[in-house]
Chain A
Amino acid sequence: MRLRLFWPVTLAAAALIGLLAYGVAGQGSASTLDQAVARGERPAAPARPLPRLGAAGEASLADYKGKVVVLNVWASWCDPCREEMPLLERTQRQIAGQGATVLGVDTQDASDSAIAFLRDRGITFPSVRDRDRSYGREFGVTGYPETFLIDRQGRVAALRRFPVTQQWLDRHLPPLLAEKA
């Protein structure tokens, strides 16, 4: 009887452990990307196609290869996002002619609220929709807003887990803009 029970119980326990391991691994780790960037490395940025906000079709970072991208994760209900939007729009106007763009990732947000939010603030840079934060998790996003500077080869060159400031952009953006594709 004991032997007969051994394998079903062992297999059930192994299945449970496997399921838990899968769940834990699926959470992704923010620290891996942060540590790599802190070491001066440039990990490849996830480039999954996402629906465009307020427009038809999809867009991904792969579409911006050769450009510097200021990837900003935002939501219309997020107060700090609201505060940093004017700075991001100014940045867009400054860098648009230098082979660069701001790209918003509107996350966990009602699309009509998000579109109204951008329209009310006169935002001109494009945004894509990450409805369930699954794309953000690939960057280790845990809150809003967060910003990632993507170089012309599609790699993460700098990141900020809080609202961006002019000083932070001034320090990280010009060297990237100066790099050739």
Chain B
Amino acid sequence: MSRLLSLLALLLALAVAPAHAQGPPPTLADLEDEVMCVECGTPLEVSQSPVANQQRAFIRRQIAQGRDKAQIKAALVGEYGENVLAEPEGAGFDLAAWLVPVLVAVLAAGAVATTVRRWRRTPSPGAARPASAGTHELDPVEARRLDAELEAFDR
């Protein structure tokens, strides 16, 4: 049992170890899709404006200084503000980017649940009619009218 536990602990340690190991240094391409061109409002990877070129030069300098991705992003925010990150920060109007999809999902789930519940409560047409058909009786006026119409139909 203790051997099994030791083996499990060893496997766990091996599985966790790579997560803590320092990865390769970031490249410009690693960051370009997570950073916005602050003037054009498009991802840096598709921007060719002068400010986008300056941002790329800034990132290259940071990489050359040995900074990791998180440090470079923090430096970018320090220079250009929060809007330089492609992912919204979750404050102010940016909150809408997170709230709206959640709200829409909740409303959609509510609508589906309500519809399903209604379907289950409404009796099916095949089940409802036989029960009611047997209880309805024609009054004398209706019976005479029906007879007359059937006779006229037979002629």
Contacts and interface: CB of A to CB of B under 8 A. Distances in A.
A108 B38 contact: yes
A78 interface: yes
B145 interface: no
A26 B93 contact: yes
Interface residues of B, number: 29
B50 A110 contact: no
Interface stretch (B12-20, B25-33, B95-103, B127-135): B95-103
Given A108-B38, A131-B81, A132-B80, A16 B100 contact: yes
Interface stretch (A7-15, A58-66, A86-94, A96-104): A7-15
Interface in B41-85: 50-51, 53-55, 57-58, 78-84
B114 A77 contact: no
Contacts of B51: 75, 77, 108-109
A113 interface: yes
A19 B93 contact: yes
Given A1-B117, A16-B100, A77 B50 contact: yes
B39 interface: yes
Nearest to A111: B79
B112 interface: no
Contact of B118 (A1, A20, A77): A1
Interface in A61-84: 75-79
Nearest to A143: B39
A97 B110 CA distance: 70
Contacts of B58: 110, 113
Most chain A CB neighbours (cut-off 10 Å) among B51, B103, B107, B110 = B51
Give chain A's interface residue range (CB within 8 Å of chain B): 20 to 34
Interface in A102-126: 108-111, 113
A110 B79 contact: yes
A3 interface: no
A75 B107 CA distance: 45
A77 to B, nearest CB: 4
Interface of B: 38-39, 50-51, 53-55, 57-58, 78-84, 92-93, 95-96, 99-100, 103, 106-107, 110, 114, 117-118
28 contacts: A1-B117, A5-B114, A15-B103, A16-B103, A19-B96, A19-B99, A20-B96, A26-B92, A26-B93, A75-B51, A76-B54, A77-B50, A77-B53, A78-B50, A79-B50, A108-B38, A108-B51, A109-B51, A109-B54, A110-B79, A110-B80, A113-B54, A113-B57, A131-B78, A131-B79, A131-B81, A132-B81, A132-B82
Given A109-B54, A131-B79, 15 more contacts: A1-B117, A12-B103, A16-B100, A19-B95, A19-B96, A22-B93, A108-B38, A108-B51, A108-B81, A110-B80, A111-B79, A113-B57, A131-B80, A132-B82, A133-B81
